[in-house]
């Protein structure tokens, strides 16, 4: 009860500069650990958590819990590493459709996210990140670019982008982003990576940063130039078409863009042509290169039309936490009336399966917060990503790895200043999702979250509900204060027991 009261007091008074409730030392006992890497489970395990990290893991019979330690019984439950969203605009989401974005992520087991750029001033974003780091705001672990590098011209530069006009500008922008505290560099589709890519990668590497982004030219060439990860699955088929030069012109030449994109039917026919003209040899070579270099791909399926059509009830159920409610998560008119495009999702799923089979690390990335994805809820959309991967024919273990092992390895390699958990082993940050059912038996079980451990903080069922209640209140513009929540808490929560409550 004290822990929950501490969280409630913090949530109610965070604007006054309160500190996030500190991690505590405890033992999670009788739990089944999910070894995502091997696709195995280890039953009857104890996880010892001290100072925000896992200090020991072992069988209940062999691992001794220090006297006086709090014990939380995880019998019948399954522990996985925390989930990551590697393709969000979470800062924008908080300022638009999903004001409780941080709370939604944590309540749904998303312990870290990679943000693609904020609409706000760079200094403002940096200040927010520092507040998170100081413990003044409860938020997932943040990997952030500050702004995305873009070239004015074909598409108007968005507020979350930093315009650059030449190679020297791009190099200087990398230095400026690093000076502001950003810990990776991102480029967008209008950025000519095929010309300036190596310059940006070299400048970023000198400052200890990786480069990611939306690549419309060759993916293999971008990987060979040092790109650490690539966003947006849809551009794999577009950039490996025999007509890829035309697609590149569409992305670079305003006249071509206007000619093709000015009419919806003409645009649909153009992309259909790209799908039907695959350069088989170049496609295979691209897959081999990405697999050999282990260039990660953030899938961003959740932001597609196909996700809206595949998961309409799941999306609609999240209206409580959206500013504007049902209007936010409803199918927008242009999407609802768009041609069904039969076979398109199947083709994209084949791309996903081919990437997996080639050994390319896939990472869940939701697209939440971007202008065309207002319906994408921070947090549960990562679960949608995993469901889609399995629907594409990817093994359940690999789909779970896309939200856990693969992002954690990426972050550990390219963003060493941010901690991430690839496996529940001694020395890892205590970022754990405790599920009521085995996710290796069905990926749908990732929805069945009982509790979350974030940086050693226990977020049990009541704490999760408090986070969700705050997210709903923020979305609806209603007051959210301690007395209201305490009435609810007192009526449904007894003293701490030995069960994982």
pLDDT values of the chain reduced to their tens digit, one per residue, 501 residues? 555 555 555 555 554 344 445 678 999 999 999 999 999 999 999 999 999 999 999 999 999 999 989 999 999 999 999 999 999 999 999 999 999 999 999 999 999 999 999 999 999 999 999 999 998 999 999 999 999 999 987 778 899 999 999 999 999 999 999 999 999 999 998 899 999 999 999 999 999 999 999 999 999 999 999 999 999 999 999 999 999 999 999 988 888 988 887 777 888 889 889 999 999 999 999 999 999 999 999 999 998 888 888 999 999 999 999 998 878 887 655 455 555 566 889 999 999 999 999 999 999 999 999 988 889 999 999 999 999 999 999 999 999 999 999 999 999 999 999 999 999 999 999 999 999 999 999 999 999 999 999 999 999 999 999 999 999 999 998 654 433 333 223 223 222 223 444
Question: Are 193 and 425 within 8 A, CB to CB?
Answer: no
Question: Are 376 and 367 within 8 A, CB to CB?
Answer: yes
Distance of CA 197 to the CA centre of its chain: 24
Q: Which residues of 52-76 are buried (b: 16+ CB within 10 A; e: fewer)?
A: bbbebbeeeeeeeeeeebeebbbee
The fold for domain 2-81+421-492 equals Urease, subunit C; domain 1 (2.30.40)
User: What is the C-alpha to C-alpha distance for residues 473 and 33, in angstroms, rounded to an integer?
Assistant: 35
The tokens of 367 are what?
């697209």
The tokens of 63 are what?
């691992």
Question: Are 213 and 230 within 8 A, CB to CB?
Answer: yes
Residue 19 confidence (pLDDT): 44
Residue 6 confidence (pLDDT): 57
Residue 483 confidence (pLDDT): 33
- Listed in sequence order, the residues at least 6 apart from 409 whose beta carbon sits closer than 8 Å to its beta carbon are 361, 420, 422
Report angle CA 4, 9, 11 to the nearest 5 degrees.
Answer: 95
Question: Are 212 and 229 within 8 A, CB to CB?
Answer: yes
Residue 397 confidence (pLDDT): 98
User: What is the C-alpha to C-alpha distance for residues 388 and 103, in angstroms, rounded to an integer?
Assistant: 24
Distance of CA 85 to the CA centre of its chain: 1
Distance of CA 439 to the CA centre of its chain: 19
Task: Return residue ranges of the chain for CATH 3.20.20.140.
Answer: 83-240+278-414
Cα separation values, 130 from 43, 109, 142, 289, Å: 39, 22, 10, 38
Residue 369 confidence (pLDDT): 94
Cα separation values, 460 from 9, 56, 464, 482, 499, Å: 16, 21, 6, 18, 11
Distance of CA 493 to the CA centre of its chain: 32
| SS3 (DSSP) at 73 | strand
| SS3 (DSSP) at 85 | strand
Residue 368 confidence (pLDDT): 95
pLDDT digits (tens, 9 = 90+) for 40-63: 999 999 999 999 999 999 999 999
Prediction pTM value: 0.92
Which of 72, 84, 19, 30 shows the shortest CA–CA distance to 429?
84
Residue 344 confidence (pLDDT): 86
The DSSP-derived string for 18-72 is PPPPPP--EEEEEEEEEETTTTEEEEEEEEEEETTEEEEEEETTTPPPPTT-EEE
Question: Are 110 and 140 within 8 A, CB to CB?
Answer: yes
Q: From the options 3.20.20.140, 3.30.950.10, 3.90.1150.10, 3.30.930.10, give the CATH code of 83-240+278-414.
A: 3.20.20.140
- Listed in sequence order, the residues at least 6 apart from 15 whose beta carbon sits closer than 8 Å to its beta carbon are none
User: What is the C-alpha to C-alpha distance for residues 459 and 126, in angstroms, rounded to an integer?
Assistant: 27
Residue 127 confidence (pLDDT): 96
Residue 325 confidence (pLDDT): 82
Question: Are 463 and 7 within 8 A, CB to CB?
Answer: yes
- Listed in sequence order, the residues at least 6 apart from 389 whose beta carbon sits closer than 8 Å to its beta carbon are 299, 301, 352, 356, 362, 364, 398, 399, 402, 443
Task: Return residue ranges of the chain for CATH 2.30.40.10.
Answer: 2-81+421-492
The tokens of 362 are what?
């896939």
| SS3 (DSSP) at 141 | strand
Which of 55, 23, 36, 140 shows the shortest CA–CA distance to 435?
36
Residue 376 confidence (pLDDT): 95
């Amino acid at each position: 009860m004290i822990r929950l009261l501490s969280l409630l007091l913090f949530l109610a008074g965070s604007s006054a500069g309160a500190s996030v409730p500190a991690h505590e030392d405890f033992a999670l006992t009788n739990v089944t650990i999910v070894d995502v890497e091997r696709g195995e489970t280890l039953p009857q395990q104890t996880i010892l958590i001290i100072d925000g990290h896992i200090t020991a893991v072992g069988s209940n019979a062999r691992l001794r819990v220090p006297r006086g330690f709090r014990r939380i019984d995880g019998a019948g439950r399954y522990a996985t590493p925390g989930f990551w969203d590697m393709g969000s605009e979470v800062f924008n989401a908080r300022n638009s459709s999903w004001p409780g974005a941080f709370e939604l992520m944590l309540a749904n087991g998303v312990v870290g996210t990679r943000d693609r750029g904020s609409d706000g001033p760079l200094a403002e974003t940096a200040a927010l990140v520092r507040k998170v780091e100081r413990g003044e705001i409860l938020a997932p672990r943040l990997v952030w670019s500050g702004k995305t590098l873009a070239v004015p011209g074909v598409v108007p530069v968005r507020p979350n982008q930093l315009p650059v006009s030449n190679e020297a500008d791009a190099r200087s922008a990398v230095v400026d982003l690093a000076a502001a505290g950003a810990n990776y560099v991102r480029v967008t589709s209008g950025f000519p990576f095929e010309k300036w890519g190596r310059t940006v990668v070299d400048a970023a590497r000198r400052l200890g940063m990786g480069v990611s982004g939306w690549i419309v030219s060759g993916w293999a060439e971008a990987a060979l130039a040092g790109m650490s990860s690539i966003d947006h699955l849809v551009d794999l088929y577009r950039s490996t078409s025999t007509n890829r030069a035309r697609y590149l012109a569409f992305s670079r030449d305003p006249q071509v863009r206007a000619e093709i994109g000015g009419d919806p039917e003409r645009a649909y026919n153009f992309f259909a042509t790209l799908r039907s003209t695959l350069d088989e040899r170049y496609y295979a070579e691209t897959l081999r290169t990405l697999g050999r270099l282990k260039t990660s791909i953030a899938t961003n399926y959740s932001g597609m039309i196909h996700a809206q059509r595949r998961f309409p009830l799941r999306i609609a159920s999240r209206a409580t936490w959206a500013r504007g409610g049902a209007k936010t998560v409803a199918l927008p008119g242009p999407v609802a009336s768009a041609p069904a495009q039969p076979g398109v999702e199947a083709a994209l799923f084949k791309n996903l399966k081919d990437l997996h089979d080639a050994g390319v690390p896939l990472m869940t990335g939701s697209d939440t917060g971007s202008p065309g994805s207002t319906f994408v809820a921070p947090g549960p959309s990562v679960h949608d990503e995993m469901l889609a991967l399995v629907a594409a024919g990817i093994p359940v273990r690999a789909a779970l790895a896309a939200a856990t092992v693969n992002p954690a390895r990426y972050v550990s390699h390219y963003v060493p200043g941010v901690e991430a958990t690839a496996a529940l082993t001694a020395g890892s940050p205590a970022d754990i999702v405790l599920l009521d059912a085995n996710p290796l038996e069905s990926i749908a079980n990732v929805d069945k979250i009982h509790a979350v451990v974030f940086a050693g903080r226990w977020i049990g069922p009541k704490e999760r509900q408090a986070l969700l209640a705050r997210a709903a209140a923020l979305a609806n513009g209603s007051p959210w204060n301690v007395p209201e929540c305490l009435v609810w808490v007192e009526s449904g929560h007894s003293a701490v027991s030995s069960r994982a409550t």
